[in-house]
Amino acid sequence: MRWLGSLHAEWTKLRTLPSTWWLLAATVALTAAVGAAAASSLTTQVCPSPAACHEDTVKLSLTGVQLSQSLCLVLGVLSMGAEYSTGTIRTTLTAMPGRWRVLTSKAATLSMLTGVAGALAVLSALALSHLILPSPTDGATLRAAAGSTLILVLVTLLGLSLATLLRDTGGAITLGLGVLYVIPILSRLVNSPTWQHRLQRWTPMPAALSIQATKNLERLTIAPWPGLGVLAAYAVGLLAVGGTVLRLRDA
């Protein structure tokens, strides 16, 4: 019963936060729109048919995930950061002293909402792109779609973790965006091929985005599912650290 009460409380807080629905709607719209735009960039001369196309059209259709993940990061940060900024975190922890239960319930609620919105976003992107440029529908496409949805969920949990650790909305968003976008750029600027390979293999986003590839898998620096596992390790690991810090310090 305590867990049900905690889940209900976190669901109530999340659904009454105005930014939640705007961010989720924007995630769906941005993922679909960017994916359709990316697909339309290929002409019929380049891809006369799915079989004759050398481009990874599925990965191209899911390009929008690279942008919409920032919205999911912000959603995760605000779910905890809003409570710290308004001081309502004290009320939450007074009503529900089990701090691990509070954080776990918040993570579960966020995962559910982002999972639904992410699945809708990914399916919309693939459907729109398919109308523009027919793409194969097979196991690799299903893996790319499921993995892209999981990327959005894990990035949301990453935002929650950073907000729990830093207790500062602006700082958590800035650090999170650095992880998502700055580190991948730096990995391409490193002169050493060895370190470039290591950064692309073991930093969250370059590794995780390998899940979207459906062609030329042998050229990837890390296989699709292990790559997604790297992001999962960061998100879950930081969530565990955040839960420990939340439990040990004052609100």
Q: What is the mean pLDDT of each run of 10 residues along the chain (251 residues)?
A: 77 87 96 91 59 75 96 96 84 81 93 97 93 79 96 98 94 94 84 83 92 89 94 96 87 61
Confidence (pLDDT) at 190: 80
Confidence (pLDDT) at 188: 79
Which uninterrupted H or E stretch holds 235?
helix 224-248
Structure tokens of 46?
Answer: 């380049």
Confidence (pLDDT) at 184: 85
Structure tokens of 100?
Answer: 């691990």
Confidence (pLDDT) at 185: 86
Q: Which residues make Cβ contacts (< 8 Å) with residue 161, sequence separation at least 6?
A: 76, 235, 238, 239, 241, 242
Q: Shortest CA distance to 149 belongs to which of 219, 82, 72?
A: 72
Structure tokens of 94?
Answer: 């007074």
Find the angle CA(126)-CA(131)-CA(133) to the nearest 5 degrees. Answer: 85
Q: Which residues make Cβ contacts (< 8 Å) with residue 21, sequence separation at least 6?
A: 15
Confidence (pLDDT) at 39: 83
Determine the Cα–Cα distance for residues 101 and 2; give it in Å rounded to an integer.
9
Confidence (pLDDT) at 41: 77
Structure tokens of 219?
Answer: 């050229």
Give the distance between the most distant pair of CA atoms in the chain. 64
